[in-house]
């Protein structure tokens, strides 16, 4: 425990000297001046306001703007993470369906590696990759 005499007593009569703000403190002060809702729930605050239209730029570009990232830091991060997920193509579904036609009831004991090799070769043949490979040999 620190004895009471070890630290100076605060007094309104003797205010501490005011120092000029360094660069870090100026940045911290400017970040506090961003208009933030009073609630701690950014999602509720976002939904309680008028709807925002990203216009022609798209939703991801809108959330990447500094204004949105400063005003809704956690919500913007979540939106960027979700909107950055690429849409699924139909190629994996097509390959999966093709593998089902390969593995019939009669061929149920084919090893997984053999199925994978066969499906890759079939895809490469259809797309012309094998032709390019054999031409270069």
Instruction: Answer for the pair 120, 112: CB distance below 8 angstroms, yes or no.
Output: no
Total-model pTM: 0.40
Q: How far apart are CA 119 and CA 113, in angstroms?
A: 10
End-to-end Cα separation, the chain, in angstroms:
82
pLDDT tens column, 17-39 = 666 778 877 777 776 655 555 56
Phi, psi angles (nearest 5°) of residue 42: -65, -35
Q: How far apart are CA 120 and CA 99, in angstroms?
A: 10
pLDDT tens column, 46-97 = 888 887 777 788 888 988 998 888 888 889 999 999 888 877 777 777 767 7
């Amino acid at each position: 425990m620190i004895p009471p005499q070890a630290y100076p007593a605060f007094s309104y009569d003797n205010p501490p000297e005011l120092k000029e703000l360094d660069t870090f403190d100026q940045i911290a002060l400017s970040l506090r001046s961003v208009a933030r809702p009073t609630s701690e729930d950014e999602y509720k605050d976002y939904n309680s306001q008028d709807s925002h239209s990203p216009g022609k730029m798209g939703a991801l570009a809108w959330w990447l703007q500094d204004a949105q990232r400063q005003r809704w830091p956690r919500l913007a991060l979540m939106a960027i993470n979700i909107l950055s997920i690429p849409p699924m193509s139909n190629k994996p579904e097509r390959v999966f369906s093709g593998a089902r036609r390969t593995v019939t009831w009669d061929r149920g004991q084919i090893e997984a590696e053999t199925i994978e090799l066969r499906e890759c070769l079939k895809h490469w043949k259809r797309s012309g990759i094998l032709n390019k490979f054999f031409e270069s040999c």
